[in-house]
Amino acid sequence: MNGIEKITARIQADAEQEIAQLQAQTQAQCGAIAAEAQAQADRESADILARGRKAADERLERLQSAAQMETRKLTLAAKQEVLGEAFDKALEQLCSLPDADYIALLANLAVKASSTGKEKLIFSLKDRARVGKQVVVAANDAMVKQVAPELPASMSDSKVGAFLGKVVNNAAAQITGTGLLTLSEETRNIKGGFIMVDGDVEINCTFETLVRLQREKVEKQVAQLLFD
């Protein structure tokens, strides 16, 4: 081998060695890059999975909260419906009282509601014809008895005594200015009770209003009895 061939061989050997070194370095760098890329992918994958789990948990919590709220709303609505039916039943029973009890109740209510003893009572069309006059008479008698002496029982039990009692009551009403309630010609679309009118002033004594006001006072206690 001459000198040129030796030099050429040496250059080729050095080149091959350098190429081998470069290949080794390249493979090492590629491996490092691949490992880092895999590690980054694993981190990102874990992060994405964690975020996904958190989002899923938050959505589940929201759905559970919404379901609980909707359940409470439906339960409350059902309880309100049952309470409404209970008070509607009470109103129905009031309106269905026997005539004697109905008259006594309304007369007592009229006495308590009256401030002048000269008001007019407005009933429904049905109640005006059925009990209107009796309520007015009973309420006026009760008012007069509060301010005028009664006849002895032995006298008032007779027909003459009853007549004298009526005369005394009428006179006492005129003198004291009380017990002068009258039955209005007007009627209203109400279920039961009456409306007391004194000029421009109206006092609502309808059963609908009385039951509603009573419901506002005792609804909590009624609910405890019904649902506890």
- CATH number of the domain encompassing residue 119: 3.30.2320.30
Does 145 lie in the same domain as 62? no
Residues 91 and 103 in one domain: no
Q: What is the pLDDT of residue 164?
A: 38
φ, ψ dihedrals at 115, nearest 5°: -115, -25
Q: How do beta strands 120-123 and 193-198 pair?
A: antiparallel
**Tell me, what's the pLDDT at 149?**
56
Query: Does residue 204 share a domain with residue 136?
Result: yes
117 and 165 inside one domain: yes
Say if residue 14's pLDDT is above 80: no
Query: Is there a single domain that holds both residue 33 and residue 14?
Result: yes
| Domain match, 144 and 161 both | yes
The Cα–Cα gap between 215 and 83 comes to: 9
Q: Which two tokens stand for residue 216?
A: 């506002």
- pLDDT given at position 214: 86
Backbone angles phi, psi at 47, to 5 degrees: -65, -45
Q: Which residue has the higher pLDDT, 188 or 154?
A: 188
**Residue at a domain's end among 50, 71, 96:** 96
Show the tokens assigned to 41: 């992918």
Q: Are residues 133 and 205 in the same domain?
A: yes
Residues 85 and 106 in one domain: no
In the block, tokens 């559970």 appear at 64
What pTM was estimated for this model as a whole? 0.58
Q: Domain count of the chain?
A: 2
What mean pLDDT is reported for the chain? 81
- Residue 114: exposed, middle, or buried by beta-carbon count in 10 A (0-12, 13-18, 19+)? buried
- Do 179 and 79 lie in one domain? The reply is no
Considering 96, 129, 145, which residue would you say is the last residue of a domain?
96
pLDDT digits (tens, 9 = 90+) for 50-94: 888 888 888 878 878 787 878 777 776 777 777 778 888 989 999
The residue segments making up the domain with residue 140 are: 98-227
